[in-house]
Amino acid sequence: KMEQNGTKENGRSEETPAPGPPQPVHVQDIRFTKIFIDNKWVQSSRGRTFATFNPATGCKLCEVEEADESVEAAAGRRGSAWQRMDACSRGKLLHRLADLVERDRLLLATVETLDTGKPFLQSLFIDLDGSIKTLRYYAGWSDKIHGKSLRVDESFMSITKHEPVGVCGAIIPWNFPLLMFMWKIAPALSCGNTVVVKPAEQTPLTALHMGSLIKEAGFPAGVVNIVPGFGPTAGAAIANHMDIDKVAFTGSTETGQLIQTAAAKSNLKRVTLELGGKNPCIVFADCDLQLAVEDTQTGAFYNQGQCCTAASRVFVEESIHDQFVRLSIENAKKIVVGDPLDPLTSHGPQIDQQQFDKIMDLIESGKKEGARLEYGGTPVSNKSLFIQPTIFSGVKDHMRIAKEEIFGPVQCIFSFQSQEEAIRRANSSRYGLVSAIFTSSMDRALSVSAALETGTVWINCYNSLHAQTPFGGYKMSGIGRELGEYALAEYTEVKAVTLKLKEAV
C-alpha cells in the first residue's frame, strides 16, 4: 500500500492515497504538491486541487494545489534584493542549485518518468544532465553581463547598461518539464530577474520539487515562484498580468498566438515563444546511410515523438530511397516498447488520452490519403496510451501527416530527385524550427544549410542541443532565442546613458 503524508509547512499533501501497484519511488517521496510563493508552500485560494497521473499505468500519483489568484501574489517583484545582489553571489546560488539537483538526480529522474512516461534512462542521462549543465552555464554568465562605452564625439560619451527586464513569467510544456524549467529560469535569474513559473498541468511534480531545492539553496524569498494550474486560468493570468514584464512560453503555435495577443493587450510585455515544428531532414545518396537511418529515426521517435524538434519529414534521394525505407523498418523493430522504469525500455506511452487520440487520427488520415504504412500504426493494447513506432513511405506534400505537427511516434519518408527540389519542399511549411542534412560533402552541407529556413540546422547528426548554442525558430516556430549567450538579450533591457564631457584645457 502506498501512502502520502506530510505537513502544510513543507508543501506536502495531508493524505493522498494513490491506487495501483507499488512504484520504485514511493508516493510519499512525491512530497511537494502545493503552490510555491515567497519560499513558502501555500494552498489554493479557492481550495481546489487537480490530479496528476502516471501515463504508463493510468494510476493517480497525487493531487496538486491549483493556482488561480495565486499568480497575483507571485508577481510584482521589481527592484528586488535579487536584482541588487552582487552578480557573483547570484552565480554562486545557481551553482549551489545545480549541486542540489545533482544530489537529487535519481529522485528527480524517477519522478519525471512517473509523471511523463518517458523512459527512465532518458530522464536520467538527457533531461537531468541537460538541466544541470544549463544551470552551470548561466551561473558562469552572472558576473559577465556588461555594456559598452561609446565615444560619440569630443563633447559626448555614451555608455550602455544591460539591466534586468523585471518579473518574468515562464509557461513550460509537459514533454520536457524539468529541462524547460531550467531553460527558462537559468538565464532569467542570471540576469537578475525574478520568475513566476507555471508548469504544465499534466506534469507539475519536478517543477514543484525544484521549489524545495531553490529554498534549500538559499535563494531570497520571491525570486522563483511556482504556480501549478491550467492554461486558461494560471497561464492566462501570467500572459495578461500588468506587473509581469516578460513571458517565455514553450508549446503549441496556437497557444503561442494567444499568449502574444494577451501580452500585446495588457502591457506590451516582451514575449519569447518556442513553438511547433514540422522539421525536414534531407538525406543525400552520398551520406553514411546507417547513420542517417539511425539519427532520423531517433529524431522521429525520441520521447515518443513528443518533441517540437521531431524529425517529421525525411526527404531521401531517390536512388537510395528503397534501401533507406528497408533499413528504417529493420531499425524500428529493435525499439523496445514497455514499462518506462525498465532500463531496457526505449519507448514509453503518450502523455494522455487527448494526445493519443490526435496521433491515431493522423495515422488513419495517412492511410486514407494514400501513404504506404510500412510499420506500426496501431496501439500496443486496447487499454493503454502506448502507440507502436510508425513508419510511412510514399508520403506526398499535400497530406495531413506531411503538413500538421503530429507530436507522436510517426516517421514520414518522402522521395526527391534534385537538391533544388529538396530545398524547395523542405521550406514549404509554415514552421521553421530545425532541419538536418546527411551528406559526405561539406560544400553541399553548407550551401544547403544556408538555403534552409530554420533556426537550427544539424549536419550528419540530430537533436544535438547544448546550453551554449542558441535555440529557436523561423516563421511560425517562434520568436526569440533560448540558450547560449543569445538568450541573455531576451532577459535584459539596454539602457543608454550619455555624458557631456568637459572641454580639455
- Residue positions annotated with a catalytic role: 274
Name the residue with cell 531553460: 183
Beta bridge partners of 497: 159
Whole-number Å distance between alpha carbons of 36 and 197: 10
Find the largest Cα–Cα distance for the chain. 89
Strand 431-432 relative to strand 474-475, pairing: antiparallel
Whole-number Å distance between alpha carbons of 229 and 234: 5
Which cell goes with 423?
A: 530545398
Contacts of 169 (CB under 8 A, 6+ apart): 75, 195, 196, 197, 198, 238, 239, 241, 244, 246, 247, 248, 269
Closest CA to 79 of 186, 218, 249, 220: 220
Which cell goes with 176?
A: 520536457
What length does the chain have?
505
Whole-number Å distance between alpha carbons of 443 and 311: 23
Amino acid at 451: A
Q: What is the 3-state composition of the chain as percent helix, strand, coil, each rounded to the nearest 5?
A: 40, 20, 40
Query: Are residues 201 and 228 in contact, defined by beta-carbon separation less than 8 angstroms?
Result: yes
User: Quick one: residue 166, left, alpha or beta (phi over 0 = left, psi -120 to 50 = alpha)?
Assistant: left
User: Quick one: residue 67, left, alpha or beta (phi over 0 = left, psi -120 to 50 = alpha)?
Assistant: beta
Query: Are residues 127 and 153 in contact, defined by beta-carbon separation less than 8 angstroms?
Result: no
Residue 274: helix, strand or coil by DSSP? strand
Beta bridge partners of 298: none
Whole-number Å distance between alpha carbons of 24 and 27: 9
Beta bridge partners of 150: 158
DSSP annotation string for 383-418: TSS-B--EEEES--TTSHHHHS---SSEEEEEEESS
Query: Are residues 399 and 372 in contact, defined by beta-carbon separation less than 8 angstroms?
Result: no
